[in-house]
């Protein structure tokens, strides 16, 4: 699959999975008080559910082997790139799409850089603003299928 739906759920990792990594669990326990005392209505929804380790914008999708990343804030051009490493996007400035294998990433990047996506974004007259290429705009152009992903579905 090109963009597996499992990566799109945005749910926090469960405690069992976190405990499998001793160093990670120790770090979280050491910082538990600080994590439980965070402010913000969105993060507090998870904290009240007992998921005090939750981080906004962090989930399984962060650990995909390939990411298609683009600057989503304040730009005037749409220039997505593939990153195939443990690199993480700065989610306040960048957006990304998780991908399981490099061939799929290459197929997606070809579609994203064809010019049609940038033309669509430019038609919205949001270039240079914080609303430039936000995920909500890009996801409207995607069609999720079991075997492939296509832009501009017919």
pTM of the model: 0.65
- Mean pLDDT rounded to a whole number for the chain: 83
Q: What are the pLDDT digits (tens) for 90-128?
A: 767 888 888 989 999 999 999 999 999 999 999 999 999
R_g of the chain, CA atoms, integer Å: 17
User: Of all helices (H) and strands (E), which one includes residue 70?
Assistant: strand 66-71
Question: Please, which pLDDT band fits residue 146 given cuts at 50, 70 and 90?
Answer: low
Q: For residue 137, which of 150, 115, 121 has the smallest C-alpha distance?
A: 121
Question: Please, which pLDDT band fits residue 151 given cuts at 50, 70 and 90?
Answer: low
Question: Please, which pLDDT band fits residue 3 given cuts at 50, 70 and 90?
Answer: very low
Residue 93 near residue 129, CB atoms below 8 Å: no
Cα 90 from chain centroid (whole Å):
10
What is the spatial distance between Cα 119 and Cα 121, in angstroms, rounded to a whole number?
A: 5
Question: Please, which pLDDT band fits residue 132 given cuts at 50, 70 and 90?
Answer: very high
Q: For residue 83, which of 105, 103, 112 has the smallest C-alpha distance?
A: 105
Q: What are the pLDDT digits (tens) for 33-48?
A: 999 999 888 889 989 9
What is the spatial distance between Cα 72 and Cα 136, in angstroms, rounded to a whole number?
A: 10
User: Where is pLDDT greater, at 57 or 82?
Assistant: 82
| Candidate ranges 53-62, 85-94, 129-138, 143-152; pick with highest mean pLDDT | 129-138
User: According to the model, what pLDDT value does residue 82 have?
Assistant: 96
């Amino acid at each position: 699959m090109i963009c597996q739906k499992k990566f799109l759920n945005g749910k926090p990792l469960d405690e069992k999975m976190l405990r499998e990594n001793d160093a990670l669990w120790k770090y979280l326990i050491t910082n538990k008080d600080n994590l439980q005392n965070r402010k913000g209505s969105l993060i507090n929804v998870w904290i009240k559910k007992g998921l005090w380790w939750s981080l906004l914008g962090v989930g399984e999708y962060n650990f995909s082997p390939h990411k298609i990343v683009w600057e989503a804030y304040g730009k005037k051009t749409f220039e997505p790139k593939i990153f195939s490493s443990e690199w993480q996007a700065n989610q306040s400035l960048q957006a990304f799409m998780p991908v399981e294998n490099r061939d799929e990433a290459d197929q997606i990047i070809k579609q994203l850089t064809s010019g049609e996506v940038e033309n669509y974004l430019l038609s919205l007259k949001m270039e240079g603003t914080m609303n430039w290429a936000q995920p909500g705009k890009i996801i409207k152009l995607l069609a999720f299928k079991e075997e492939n992903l296509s832009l501009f579905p017919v």
